[in-house]
Amino acid sequence: MTRDRLLFALFLLFALVTLEPAQSSAQVAPSAFKSPLSLTAGGMVSGFQPDYVDSKLIGLGAYVDLTIFHGISIEAEGRWQRFNQLDSIYQDNYLIGPRVKLHRFWRATPYVKALGGFSNMNFEDNIAHGRFTTVAFGGGIDLKVSRRWSVRAIDGEYQIWPDFLGSNLKPYGLSAGIGYKIF
């Protein structure tokens, strides 16, 4: 039993001696910090497969991205897919959720997102209109053009409507747009 204690004491002494230089070489904290808060607003054009008819829907959208910590933000987006309708069928999305920026390289910042909210759908020949819970997973790449302007080069999104008339609807699509950093 005493041998185990001796080995443990030697291990602790060795750990303290080897870790001490790493702790004593710390630098002074910077005199100023950049605020992690930033707000970007933008617009986009989308093309989506609505998973209800074979015709692809095309639409316009807007997004707001509030960065609350370096690389972690909350994104809200609205998308109105009103072009290329077949039999007056269209879908609108209103989603919000976390967005995480991945490792930036050059001017490109890839990201992933998980959003939730609701979608409105107009059915064929305007016979009905419904609101459905929507969960969306996606990602994309933002390209920084200048200090304030960025291009959303690609944004892919896969949606799940879990309560769509006793079934699941799974629309998916791509968007591209432009953003302006407000602060």
Task: Write down the pTM of the prediction.
Answer: 0.79
What are the distances in angstroms from CA 180 to CA 36, 101, 145, 183?
A: 17, 17, 10, 9
The CA–CA distances, whole Å, from 119 to 37, 164, 165 equal: 29, 10, 13
Instruction: Dump pLDDT digits (tens) for 51-103.
Output: 998 889 999 999 999 999 888 999 999 999 999 999 999 999 999 999 999 98
What amino acid occupies position 163? D
**pLDDT at residue 22, rounded to an integer:** 46
Torsion of CA 68, 72, 76, 82, to 10 degrees: 150
C-alpha to C-alpha distance for 14 and 19, rounded to whole angstroms: 9
Judge whether residue 23 has pLDDT over 50: no
Q: What is the pLDDT of residue 166?
A: 85
160 vs 2 pLDDT, higher one: 160
Of the pLDDT bands very low, low, confident and very high (cuts 50, 70, 90), residue 15 is low
- Measured CA angle at 54 (ends 172, 142), to 5 deg: 25
The predicted-structure confidence for 148-166, as pLDDT tens digits, reads as follows: 999 999 999 999 999 898 8
